Amino acid sequence: MHPYPRGRRLTRMTDPKRFNPARPPRREGKLHRIAPRLAQRPGPLRAVIDHARGLERLSRRLQRNLPAETRGHWRLARLDEEEMVVIADGSGWGTRLRYLSRQLQDAAEAISGQRPRRVTVRVTPASSAPRKLQGPGPLSDQASETLRRAAATSTDPALREALERLASRRRSED
């Protein structure tokens, strides 16, 4: 038996012919799906994980009872006799879900056996696309002149060219 049983995995990572960054090796130095491991041990973390899984199952069942266009735009955060809390992707979906609150209560009663007294819809903004980074803004006349002087004294032609390009980004006169 080889003294290092994980040597095969290490070879797979270091061999450029076999290593594919798009498909990294499983469980190599990362916490890979920790929830199943935490759920095996009794304690408060297991209770939290079980509760989250239960809410997810209820949410999926509730979503089947609402119009198809609302599916995927909300999730269940809380359900008991007192209140049902639903988190919507945006204000438009929140308004639509408020309109459907009676239907949500009926569906919750049919699925879980308890009818919440009220439905609260909270709105969280959907994750927006990353904003496009803006390039550097225009330079003042003084900054532009300083860069031109630095370019004139530079002995490196690549640096001189880069400084001149930067100096040309000065503010235009209005």
pTM: 0.52
At 134-161, the pLDDT tens digits run: 767 788 889 889 999 999 999 999 999 9
pLDDT at residue 49 tops 70: yes
Q: Which strands, in side-by-side order, build the sheet including 118-123?
A: 74-79, 83-88, 118-123
Per residue in 63-92, pLDDT (tens digit) is 898 898 988 899 999 998 999 999 998 899
Could you tell me the two tokens for 107? 């569906």
Domains of the chain and any CATH numbers: 38-123 (3.30.300.180)
Burial of 121 (0-12, 13-18, 19+ CB in 10 A): buried
Give residue-wise pLDDT tens across range 88-132.
Answer: 988 999 999 999 999 999 999 999 888 999 999 999 876 665 666
pLDDT for position 46 = 80
Question: What percent of the chain has pLDDT above 90?
Answer: 34
CA 153 distance to own-chain centroid: 49
